[in-house]
Amino acid sequence: MVKSVTSVGRSGLHDWMIQRVSAVILAAYSIYIGVFVLSTPDLHFSVWQGLFAQTEIKIFSFLAILSLCFHAWIGLWIISTDYLNILALRLVFQVVVIILCLAFLLWGAQILWGF
Amino acid sequence: MAAFKWPITAISSILHRVTGVLLFLAVPFCLWTLERSLNSEAGFLQVKSMLSGDCAKFITWFILSSLTYHIIAGCKHLLMDVGIGESLESGVLASKLVIILGILAAVGLGVWIW
Ligand code: HEM
């Protein structure tokens, strides 16, 4: 079996599972927010802020960002091994992706718990 | 390269990849918008008026269309993972379906945004 290639999961199969689970969470979140916006034609500030003031939505949102980080990290890792054949270039790309993912996560947490 | 014919399954799969990368690049834009819109009523109104500009509408439409396409193609992926539609014919059919649904969703989003 392929050993931990992306260093996210413990194995290629584990990465594959994470990719699927995070996809389902992201899809559920996108659909939830989409339906909310579509079913609220007169979207005011108080309604919008009220939505994100609920603890469940904060946690759901944070889980979505966390899923996004895993999902994008694994997905972009696969892409980098397909197109970036120079080792140094690939490593730089992967480091940039990790840093961006961490930044998104922290930024998201600050937005959700900071307003 | 010109002689190489792109099968429909390759097109639908490369689009899934391209939209995935686009979505990743769109994350800072989405987070920034969320932050602004939640911080204050003034910020919310600022975002609202900003998003009514033509250029911003186009970007929003582009991001949302990429998202719907990526989700539709992602669902096809997940269905094939559990063993539905794995034969060549059904794969071609599913790819066509994914692209058609993706276009319909993009048109619908366009109508909603403009
Ligand atoms: C919202 C942010 C999202 C981003 C930034 C993103 C990004 C990506 C990227 C970069 C890939 C790699 C593409 C490839 O290997 O060709 C990927 C693959 C995938 N995405 Fe997403 N995605 C997002 C949301 C979703 C959602 C909501 C779903 C739900 C259905 C989904 C389902 C999938 C699946 C199933 C794969 C695996 C494809 C494969 O194994 O080849 N993604 N994603």
Q: Which B positions 74-113 lie with beta carbon below 8 A of chain A?
A: 74-75, 77-78, 81, 112
Please give the C-alpha separations between residue B17 and each of A1, A45, A75, A77, A114, in angstroms, as whole numbers. 25, 35, 9, 12, 34
Closest by CA position to B110, among listed B33, B71, B72, B54: B54
Give residue limits of the domains in chain B.
Answer: 8-113
B83 burial level (CB within 10 Å; 0-12, 13-18, 19+):
exposed
How far apart are the C-alpha atoms of B24 and B52, rounded to whole Å? Answer: 23
- Find the mean pLDDT for residues A32-42: 94
Q: Are B113 and B61 in contact (CB under 8 A)?
A: yes
Q: What angle do CA B66, A61, A93 make, to 5 degrees?
A: 55
Domains and CATH numbers, chain A: 12-113 (1.20.1300.10)
Stretches in chain B below the pLDDT threshold 70: 1-3
Closest by CA position to A54, among listed A78, A69, A42, A36: A36
Q: Per residue in A63-79, pLDDT tens?
A: 999 999 999 999 999 99
Q: Are A37 and B27 in contact (CB under 8 A)?
A: no
Q: Are B101 and B110 in contact (CB under 8 A)?
A: no
User: What tokens does A33 get?
Assistant: 């927010």
Q: What is the pLDDT of residue A7?
A: 63
Asked if the model's pLDDT at residue A57 lies above 60, the reply is: yes
Q: Per residue in B29-53, pLDDT tens?
A: 999 999 999 999 999 999 999 999 9
Looking at the domain covering B8-113, what would its CATH class be?
mainly alpha
Q: What is the pLDDT of residue A92?
A: 97
User: What tokens does A28 get?
Assistant: 């559920």
ipTM of the complex: 0.91
Give me ligand 1 centre to Cα B42, in Å: 35
CA atoms within 13 A on the CB side of B90: 9
B78 lines ligand 1 (CB under 6 A): yes
- What is the number of helices (H) and of strands (E) in chain A? 4, 0
Query: pTM value?
Result: 0.92
Percent of chain A with pLDDT over 70: 93
Q: Are B76 and B31 in contact (CB under 8 A)?
A: no
From chain A, the residues in CB contact with B44 under 8 A are: 45, 48-49
Rounded to the nearest integer, the mean pLDDT of chain A is 92
Asked if the model's pLDDT at residue A6 lies above 80, the reply is: no
